[in-house]
Amino acid sequence: MTYRETLDFLYTQLPMFQRIGAAAFKKDLTNIKLLLDALGNPERQFASIHVAGTNGKGSVTHLLGAALQAHGYKTGLYTSPHYKDFRERIKINGDYIPRREVVRFVDAIQPLLATVQPSFFEITVAMAFNWFAQSKVDMAVVEVGLGGRLDSTNVLLPELAVITNISLDHQQFLGDTLPEIAAEKAGIIKPGVPVVIGETQRETAPVFRATAQAQNAPIYFADQLFQVKARHSDLATTTYEVFRQQQLYTPELRTQLHGPYQYLNLQTALAALEVWQHHQPQHLLPFSAVEQGWAQLRTLTRFQGRWQVLAENPRILVDSAHNEGGLRAILDTLNQQTGQLHIVLGVVNDKKLDEVLPLFPKGARYYFAKAAIPRGLPAEELRATAATYQLHGRSYTSVKNALRAARRAASPADTIFVGGSIFTVAEVL
């Protein structure tokens, strides 16, 4: 197969959560274990850090990867989903997996497909682990796809587990309460493997402590170790002041991360690196590598889609936050922008609109669109539901058309925000 034919096969012939939703969700790890067994268990051939959480896990994964890469580690990153290019999911030192390797891998596993019947996600996980092992990475930072306990990435025995935070999302798979969701995320905690929890949350901390105790796993809460405060932001970087247990740690930490929520992810990443080195003393990672890596985060890791400024006059901002916790942080900051706020909004069809639409400002002008995936909610349906929350605007035939309309309507002092789902954002990057 050619590369294009290989992608078409992956997207159309295999169950894919981003395309069809719940039907692609597997309730056990049987398939991924069969795949990896047939490949010679590549997941056992490299060291790893495993990152889960409702919000921030992608940012934390890239922060850890950038710091490791800056210090000279050959660093694999596995993240999902992708924005524009399938190969974004699998990177080594910021370089995408080669097209020829994608083709070779899918061709090689064809004999397994009839018996194993893997999903799209299971194949991409196996592809990533195989590429990391084949390339002899020093460390892989692996982001959980959904949940934790039953996620295909949960075949790893990592050197460190990280759980960023817990918010309501994917309740149909993970549970309807924060403790239930936390229990699923806590499934990545392994016997004796230290775990860093990003945020101390009253409802979820007992779940994590109990799981860690049962697994004899040392547990740390990042926000009790590090406190990070934003000091200055421009288009290039945001500068933070860092405290360790209330004592000044560094007065100026520059990063290419923007967004009102990123201080939480920085706290989590700082704690993760400290805990990892404490329990793996053979790894030495000077703070200078952290500073260098985070100042060049987007350059080193090709990180995108989070509080990303696409243009000025008017300012066009995109962010792929899509659940209550992530959207609340975004919208609190958007409400502080000067000028008129224009919001290009598209969501998936299983989104609980009654949880997210009340968060949006009534004074904004809305441009509703359906992302170009089968799971996208029709724009007119979104517009009609939003109107019941006093969120008014027009529906458009595509995300790009909605953005064009917003740009025509906006004055130079206004702000245009594009979001609601990663698939909406992907169409304007």
Cα distance between residue 238 and residue 232, in whole Å: 6
Q: In 53-204, which ranges are E strands?
A: 75-78, 90-92, 95-96, 139-143, 160-163, 195-197
Cα 230 to the center of its chain, rounded Å: 21
Q: How far apart are CA 173 and CA 148, in angstroms?
A: 11
How many Å apart are CA 65 and CA 57, to the nearest integer? 12
Instruction: Return the pLDDT at 21.
Output: 47
Distance CA 179, CA 177 (A): 6
The tens digit of pLDDT for each residue in 48-72 reads 999 999 889 999 999 999 999 999 9
- 308-426 maps to which CATH number? 3.90.190.20
Look at the block and give the residue holding tokens 């245009």. Answer: 416
Please give the CATH topology (third level) of the domain spanning 3-301: UDP-N-acetylmuramoyl-L-alanine:D-glutamate ligase (3.40.1190)
Q: What pTM did the predictor assign?
A: 0.92
List average pLDDT for each run of 10 residues in the chain, which is 429 residues long.
Answer: 94 60 63 96 99 94 98 98 96 99 97 87 97 99 92 97 81 70 95 98 95 98 97 84 95 90 95 98 94 97 93 94 83 86 95 92 97 92 98 98 98 96 94
Q: Is the peptide bond before 81 cis (omega within 30 degrees of 0)?
A: yes
What does the pLDDT read at residue 17? Answer: 45
Q: 3 is written with which tokens?
A: 């590369």
Which contiguous run of DSSP H or E holds residue 132? helix 120-135
pLDDT tens sequence across 282-291 = 998 999 999 9
For residue 243, give every residue at least 6 positions away whose Cβ sits within 8 Å of its Cβ, in sequence order, or none. 226, 227, 228, 229, 249
The domains of the chain are located at: 3-301, 308-426
Residue 336's pLDDT is what?
81
